[in-house]
């Protein structure tokens, strides 16, 4: 596979560090002097939860070290212990062979450990250069920061507008800024926590070429946490797999394949989306559904629905119809431009597109938090006012893109978050909330959606990133919705969870829901959607049915060229 | 745990990001108790020194504090009378804070409520109990309206509630001053002697709040029952009702709350109005149960006491009743300082010191937490998560 920009980048020879011209091939023996960072027997407990139990890990210089594991396996926690963000309960950290006690991330930075966090560490209101300067704790002025951004940008092919405000950037651009910020500290060890979960394929590739350069030319050691097996296979040299707080496998990437990794991670065989796409599961299912009967019975949803709207009326009206919907973002820019689309009951319609072309806005409009300037929304043939309460009552469930910031209330408990959208259901005869019913419901959802949490009463903030997302998914999908708007629903989930979400979305569709699946993962769209529409500049500019998805044409469409 | 204490002990506007960095609640409580011992000890020590400096025996001052507040049934009754408005004002403040509304205009709302109640009590003629109930209801409504102005400004243009409620307090006290010094409105018709502060007539005895018992034996106005019933009702509502949960969601993450179909401005504004209503009710209970006439200085820092009490128990709503009672003790006991012969300016200083000792520990701990968060934020801006810097959490 070709690596964009490598030729250009290799021109830049000078480096602050000892250059390592090439990696040794074939996974040979390495001297221990190659080891940059070593974690030994690191243990971390959160109350009864053991996030890391005696984890040992050695990261060598000139290597990309993949860290894999299910949601809640303890990957983030392990790295947080390493950079001193949380104190470990036991074990040792050694840097270049010498034991160190990393007091806090500032200290870690001084020791050459830089980490890009799972949910970024950027101040949205500030400009790019200000964020970079902040990383240097005010020891850097505007001019130096801008220069550093320019230099690093040129060196690694990571361009960013130093004067742009972070809040105006797409997720991909933010990730780039986060990386720039880390690199500006000239670290010896770079830790990236799920950097690609918000990136498009092209952006990921760009990131990987940077990673290759920092390990090969600059001789850094890189730790890469990711749930995407194909990229782990593509970019890492060694993979460590964690399950339930312990290391269950460590292997050289050259000896691994996707199924092996998935199995080691989850402890069972997993059906990957790529397989689904290849096997054409959906077609089989559709054929079966067609032969069996009209709608309704194919679902295997484990949810004990509260308000059964499952029996799908055999009406011709689509589950969802958007007609000429326009909306403006907070900055006055048109984010949806007379968007029209229809989703039939039982259908999954995919929306593909380059990030920042209105995908997030679809979710916001359908949640009623972005006001509609023109156009109408119809659910099951009836027009619905574009307000949160009306949309919810009409049976619209939204899995928002920005789950972390607006999909849940981090300070409130898991159980409260699970029932937040249907409080009225839990109103007892006295008008007060029925706590027992809430607890029971929460436990049921926690079991059904396999949410790892110490108890339903802990605050959301104590859950791992992937488990927070499962809570949102559980809340939205368990309401027996008529329409599901799923914006990047598998972002940040482990392979097992992705399999599960895929099943859930299919089951919801089989139960008669119309599903609008917004995703930047082509595999996901091909695996799940009956139809894929392409969004560009806030409007749908093309569409193809599943059978005849033409990747090349899709690419052209995504770029805004009507082909 | 108290019925109100359903939210996790992390306070302030930052989200749970600093969670990892915070000591557990148990440690925090132990530390708080320790700090109280120290701060009260220091306050008593300073008081002793001050009293010695003006040539009196410190012991007599402490005896006065005790004698004047809880030693006799009569004193206890007075202390309870002084506790009533503090409970109501503090409760309202906590309700508003839950929804993220920082109401600091309790004094204005209390005053405006009392003015409304005074109008009814003095100008409406009818059966006593009826007029009394009408006065209390109007007092409550008056406070609600006064806070409602701030709520409207917030809903309309997102005008900062801290500023609007504070400024409205100045307006309310001006209105009060005008009304009680104008014969057409509230000023006592039989004109007071030259030089005396303007005041209203005494309320007709039949509209007074029933006050079983009287000094020197034990007696307390019926207001205590009203306050306790309201406290109980809110404790249940906040902990168990959908409204209470919505309130917390709005306070903790307004965007998510909007996604859940909650009308954020209505819930937050409503909490502010409730807070004002309770302050207005506190003012009318003071008027009809204890003071019986309205004057320019009517508020007598009760609004501030309530605010401070709320500050002390912001993260521990279960402490609200005892803390309010301690404020009552300081007030009624503090009134006895003069009887020991210390000069009146010093009596005020002594009272202030006691209040300070009461407020210091939680404020100190909170400030320290903010300092810690600031550090965490710096650290996290460096490596950590957008979480602390904005909101969200590390994961
Ligand atoms: N602050 C905390 N308080 C309590 N428990 C916590 C806290 N942080 C993490 N945990 C728990 O520790 C475990 C490991 O979490 P961690 O965030 O390390 O998972 P992860 O491997 O990064 O998962 P993901 O892929 O979902 O991000 C989880 O069970 C989580 O609930
Ligand atoms: Mg993680």
A161-170, A477-486, B362-371: range with lowest mean pLDDT: B362-371
A50-59, A397-406, A435-444: range with lowest mean pLDDT: A397-406
pLDDT number for residue A379:
94
Token reading at A222: 């890189």
pLDDT number for residue A24:
41
Residues 6+ apart with CB under 8 A from B7: A411, A412, B98, B248, B252
pLDDT number for residue A15:
35
Average pLDDT over every residue of B117-145: 95
Long-range contacts of A470-473 (CB under 8 A, 24+ apart): A470/A71, A470/A497, A471/A408, A471/A414, A471/A417, A471/A418, A472/A399, A472/A400, A472/A403, A472/A407, A472/A408, A472/A417, A473/A399, A473/A449, A473/A501, A473/A504
Position A96 in a domain:
yes
Position B17 in a domain:
no
How high is the mean pLDDT of chain A?
A: 82
Interface contact B262, partner A, CB < 8 A: yes
Q: Which of A411-425, A540-554, B10-24, B183-197 has the highest mean pLDDT?
A: A411-425
Instruction: Determine contact, residues B314/B142, Cβ cutoff 8 Å.
Output: no
CATH code of residue B217: 1.10.3470
The strand pairing partners of A59, in sequence order, are A37
Residues 6+ apart with CB under 8 A from B274: B92, B95, B96, B144
Position A300 in a domain:
no
pLDDT number for residue B386:
39
Q: How many CA atoms lie within 13 A of A390 on its CB side?
A: 13
pLDDT number for residue B373:
66
Query: What is the tally of structural domains in chain B?
Result: 2
pLDDT number for residue A17:
36
Give just the sign of the alpha carbon dihedral B42, B45, B49, B55: positive
In a shared domain, residues A174 and A38: no
Average pLDDT over every residue of B186-212: 80
Contact call for B379 and A106, based on CB within 8 A:
yes
- State yes or no: pLDDT of B55 exceeds 60: yes
Position A297 in a domain:
no
Measured distance CA(A148)–CA(A160) in Å, rounded: 11
Measured distance CA(A140)–CA(A134) in Å, rounded: 8
In a shared domain, residues A191 and A181: no
A296 confidence band (pLDDT: 50, 70, 90): very low
Q: Give per-residue pLDDT as tens, A347-395.
A: 999 998 877 788 889 999 999 989 999 999 999 999 999 999 999 999 9
Instruction: Determine contact, residues B268/A428, Cβ cutoff 8 Å.
Output: no
Query: Could you list the residue range(s) of the whole structural domain that residue B234 is in?
Result: 75-335
pLDDT number for residue A561:
67
pLDDT number for residue A291:
54
pLDDT number for residue A544:
85
Residue with tokens 């989930």: A493
A518 confidence band (pLDDT: 50, 70, 90): very high
- State yes or no: pLDDT of A120 exceeds 80: no
pLDDT number for residue B38:
93
| Percentage with pLDDT > 70 across chain A | 86
Measured distance CA(B138)–CA(B120) in Å, rounded: 8
Which of A431, A460, A480 delimits the end of a domain? A480
Using CA coordinates, name the residue in chain B closest to A422.
B260
- State yes or no: pLDDT of B101 exceeds 60: yes
CA–centroid distance, residue B254 to ligand 1 (Å): 25
In a shared domain, residues B231 and B152: yes
Average pLDDT over every residue of B129-137: 96
Query: Could you list the residue range(s) of the whole structural domain that residue A136 is in?
Result: 122-186
A278 confidence band (pLDDT: 50, 70, 90): low
Residue with tokens 């600031």: B374
Position B249 in a domain:
yes
pLDDT number for residue A67:
94
The C-alpha R_g of chain A, in whole angstroms, comes to: 24
Which of B318, B335, B352 delimits the end of a domain? B335
In a shared domain, residues A518 and A540: yes
Interface contact A83, partner B, CB < 8 A: yes
The strand pairing partners of A93, in sequence order, are A39, A100
In a shared domain, residues A413 and A373: no
ipTM of the complex, rounded to two decimals:
0.80
Average pLDDT over every residue of A483-502: 87
In a shared domain, residues A100 and A247: yes
pLDDT number for residue B25:
53
What secondary structure letter does DSSP report for A420?
Answer: G
pLDDT number for residue A276:
67
Measured distance CA(A477)–CA(A378) in Å, rounded: 20
Position A289 in a domain:
no
- State yes or no: pLDDT of B314 exceeds 60: yes
Q: Identify which has the larger pLDDT, B350 or B276.
A: B276
Residue with tokens 């990711």: A226
Position B4 in a domain:
no
In a shared domain, residues A408 and A375: no
Position B1 in a domain:
no
Work out the widest C-alpha separation in chain A, in whole angstroms. Answer: 74
Instruction: Determine contact, residues A320/A342, Cβ cutoff 8 Å.
Output: yes
- State yes or no: pLDDT of A112 exceeds 70: yes
Q: Is A543 exposed, middle or buried (0-12, 13-18, 19+ CB in 10 A)?
A: middle
Return the ligand 1 atom nearest residue A52 CA: 14
Q: Is the peptide bond before B216 cis (omega within 30 degrees of 0)?
A: yes
3-state SS, A510-539, equals HCCCEEEEECCCHHHHHHHCCEEEEEECCE
Q: Identify which has the larger pLDDT, A500 or B74.
A: B74
**Ligand nearest to the Cα of A228, by number:** 1
Interface contact B26, partner A, CB < 8 A: no
In a shared domain, residues B101 and B224: yes
Q: Give per-residue pLDDT as tens, A233-245.
A: 999 999 999 988 9
How high is the mean pLDDT of chain B?
A: 84
Average pLDDT over every residue of A11-18: 34
- State yes or no: pLDDT of B175 exceeds 90: yes
Position B376 in a domain:
yes
- State yes or no: pLDDT of A29 exceeds 50: no
Q: Is A282 exposed, middle or buried (0-12, 13-18, 19+ CB in 10 A)?
A: buried
Position B273 in a domain:
yes
B149 confidence band (pLDDT: 50, 70, 90): very high
Ligand 1 contact via A453 beta carbon (within 6 Å): yes
Residues 6+ apart with CB under 8 A from B23: B31
In a shared domain, residues A102 and A133: no
Ligand 1 contact via A368 beta carbon (within 6 Å): no
In a shared domain, residues A378 and A431: no
Measured distance CA(B319)–CA(B90) in Å, rounded: 11
Q: For an interface test with A, which of B97, B242, B256 has the most A Cβ atoms less than 10 Å from its Cβ?
A: B256
A75-79, A93-97, A310-314, B172-176: range with lowest mean pLDDT: A310-314
Position A21 in a domain:
yes
Q: Which residues of chain A neighbour B384 with C-beta distances below 8 Å?
A: 85, 105, 117, 121
In a shared domain, residues B95 and B36: no
Nearest to A463 by CA among B73, B394, B126: B394
- State yes or no: pLDDT of B24 exceeds 80: no
Position A253 in a domain:
yes
Position A356 in a domain:
yes
A309 confidence band (pLDDT: 50, 70, 90): very low
Measured distance CA(A560)–CA(B108) in Å, rounded: 59
In a shared domain, residues A100 and A193: yes
Length in residues, chain A: 563
Q: Which of A199-203, A525-529, B237-241 has the highest mean pLDDT?
A: B237-241
Query: What is the tally of structural domains in chain A?
Result: 4
Q: Give per-residue pLDDT as tens, A198-212.
A: 777 778 888 898 898
Q: Identify which has the larger pLDDT, B169 or B188.
A: B169
Residues 6+ apart with CB under 8 A from B250: B99, B100, B257, B262, B264, B267, B268, B271
Position A126 in a domain:
yes
In a shared domain, residues B257 and B379: no
Q: Which residues of chain B neighbour A460 with C-beta distances below 8 Å?
A: 16, 393
Contact call for B16 and A459, based on CB within 8 A:
yes
Q: Which of B255, B262, B394 sits opposite A406 (nearest CB)?
A: B255
In a shared domain, residues B207 and B164: yes
In a shared domain, residues A53 and A134: no
In a shared domain, residues B216 and B289: yes
**Ligand nearest to the Cα of A68, by number:** 1
- State yes or no: pLDDT of A5 exceeds 80: no
Between the two ends of chain B, the Cα-to-Cα distance in Å is 28
Measured distance CA(B283)–CA(B302) in Å, rounded: 9
Using CA coordinates, name the residue in chain A closest to B24.
A47
In a shared domain, residues A160 and A134: yes
Measured distance CA(A267)–CA(A243) in Å, rounded: 9
Q: Which residues of chain A neighbour B258 with C-beta distances below 8 Å?
A: 367-369, 388
pLDDT number for residue A412:
92
Average pLDDT over every residue of A326-344: 90
CATH code of residue A248: 3.40.50.300
In a shared domain, residues B59 and B92: no
Q: In chain A, count of helices (H) and strands (E)?
A: 19, 20
In a shared domain, residues B48 and B146: no
In a shared domain, residues A327 and A427: no
């Amino acid at each position: 596979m070709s690596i964009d920009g490598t030729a250009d980048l290799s021109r830049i020879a000078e480096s602050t560090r000892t250059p390592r011209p090439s990696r040794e091939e074939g996974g040979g023996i390495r001297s221990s002097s190659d080891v940059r960072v070593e974690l030994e027997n690191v243990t971390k407990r959160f109350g009864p939860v053991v996030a890391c139990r005696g984890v040992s890990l050695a990261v060598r210089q000139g290597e990309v070290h993949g860290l894999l594991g299910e949601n809640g396996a303890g990957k983030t926690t392990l790295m947080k212990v390493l950079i001193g963000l949380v104190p470990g309960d036991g074990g040792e950290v050694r840097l270049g062979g010498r034991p160190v006690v990393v007091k806090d991330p500032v200290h870690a930075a001084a020791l050459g450990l830089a980490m890009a966090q799972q949910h970024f560490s950027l101040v949205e209101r500030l400009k790019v250069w200000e964020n970079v300067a902040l990383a240097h704790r005010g020891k850097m002025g505007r001019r130096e920061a801008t220069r550093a951004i320019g230099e690093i940008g040129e060196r690694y092919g990571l361009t960013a507008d130093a004067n742009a405000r972070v809040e105006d950037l797409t997720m991909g651009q933010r990730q780039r800024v986060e990386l720039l910020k880390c690199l500006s500290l000239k670290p010896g060890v770079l830790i990236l926590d799920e950097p690609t979960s918000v990136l498009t394929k092209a952006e990921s590739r760009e990131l990987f070429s940077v990673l290759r350069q920092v390990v090969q030319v600059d001789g850094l050691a890189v730790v890469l946490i990711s749930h995407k097996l194909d990229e782990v296979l593509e970019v890492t040299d060694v993979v460590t797999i964690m399950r339930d707080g312990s290391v269950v496998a460590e292997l050289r990437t050259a000896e691994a394949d996707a199924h092996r990794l998935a199995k080691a991670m989850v402890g069972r065989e997993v059906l990957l989306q790529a397989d689904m796409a290849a096997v054409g599961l959906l077609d089989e299912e559709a054929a079966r559904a067609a032969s069996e009967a009209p709608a309704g019975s194919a679902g295997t949803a484990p949810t004990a629905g509260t308000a059964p709207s499952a029996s799908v009326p055999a009406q011709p009206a689509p589950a969802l119809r958007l007609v000429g919907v326009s909306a403006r973002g907070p900055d006055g820019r048109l984010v949806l431009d007379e968007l029209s689309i229809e989703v039939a009951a039982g259908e999954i319609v995919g929306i593909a597109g380059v990030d920042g072309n209105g995908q997030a806005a679809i979710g916001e409009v359908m949640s009623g938090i972005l006001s509609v300037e023109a156009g109408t929304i119809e659910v099951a043939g009836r027009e619905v006012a574009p307000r949160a309460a009306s949309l919810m009552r009409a049976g619209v469930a939204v899995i928002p893109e920005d789950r972390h910031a607006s999909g849940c209330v981090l300070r409130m408990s898991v159980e409260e978050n699970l029932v937040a959208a249907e409080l009225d259901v839990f109103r007892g005869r006295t008008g007060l909330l029925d706590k027992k019913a809430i607890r029971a419901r929460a436990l049921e959802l926690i079991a059904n959606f396999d949410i790892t949490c110490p108890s339903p009463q802990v605050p959301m903030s104590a859950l791992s990133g992937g488990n927070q997302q499962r809570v949102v998914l559980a809340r939205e999908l368990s309401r027996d919705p008529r329409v599901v708007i799923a914006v990047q629903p598998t972002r940040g989930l482990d392979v097992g969870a992705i399999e599960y979400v895929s099943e859930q979305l299919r089951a919801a569709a089989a139960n008669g829901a119309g599903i609008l699946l917004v995703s930047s993962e082509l595999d996901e769209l091909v695996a799940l959607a009956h139809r894929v529409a392409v969004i560009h500049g806030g409007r749908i500019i093309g569409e193809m049915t599943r059978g005849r998805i033409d990747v090349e044409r899709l690419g052209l469409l995504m770029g805004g060229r009507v082909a | 745990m108290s019925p109100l204490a359903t939210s996790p002990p992390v306070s302030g506007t930052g989200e749970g990001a600093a969670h990892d960095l915070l000591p557990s609640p148990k440690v925090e409580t132990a530390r708080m108790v320790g700090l109280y011992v120290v701060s009260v000890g220091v306050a008593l020590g300073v008081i002793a020194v001050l009293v010695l400096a003006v040539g009196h025996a410190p012991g007599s001052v402490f005896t006065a504090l005790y004698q004047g507040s809880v030693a006799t049934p009569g004193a206890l009754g007075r202390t309870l009378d002084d506790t009533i408005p503090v409970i109501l004002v503090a409760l309202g403040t906590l309700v508003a804070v839950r929804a993220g509304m920082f109401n600091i205009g309790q004094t204005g709302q209390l005053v405006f409520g009392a003015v409304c109640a005074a109008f009814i009590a003095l100008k409406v003629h009818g059966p006593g109990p009826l007029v009394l109930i009408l006065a209390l209801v109007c007092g409550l409504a008056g406070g609600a309206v006064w806070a409602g102005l701030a709520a409207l400004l917030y809903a309309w243009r997102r005008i900062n509630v801290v500023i609007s409620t504070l400024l409205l307090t100045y307006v309310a006290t001006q209105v009060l001053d005008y009304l009680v010094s104008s014969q057409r409105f509230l000023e006592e018709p039989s004109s007071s002697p030259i030089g005396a502060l303007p005041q209203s007539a005494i309320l007709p005895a039949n509209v007074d709040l029933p006050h079983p018992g009287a000094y020197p034996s034990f007696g307390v106005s019926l207001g205590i029952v009203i306050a306790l019933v309201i406290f109980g009702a809110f404790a249940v509502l906040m902990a168990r009702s959908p409204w209470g949960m919505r309130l917390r969601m709005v306070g903790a993450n307004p965007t998510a709350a909007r996604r859940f179909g909650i009308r954020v401005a209505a819930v937050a504004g409503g909490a502010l109005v409730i807070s004002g209503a309770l302050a207005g009710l506190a003012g009318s209970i003071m008027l009809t149960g204890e003071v019986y006439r309205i004057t320019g200085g009517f508020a007598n820092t009760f609004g501030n006491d309530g605010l401070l009490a709320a500050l002390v128990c912001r993260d521990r709503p279960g402490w609200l009743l005892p803390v309010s009672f301690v404020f009552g003790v300081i007030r009624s006991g503090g009134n006895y300082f003069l009887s020991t012969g210390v000069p009146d300016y010093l009596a005020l200083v002594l009272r202030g010191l006691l209040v300070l000792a009461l407020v210091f520990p939680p404020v100190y701990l909170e400030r320290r937490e903010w300092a810690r968060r600031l550090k965490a934020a710096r650290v996290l801006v460096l490596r950590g998560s957008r979480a602390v810097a904005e909101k969200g959490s590390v994961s």
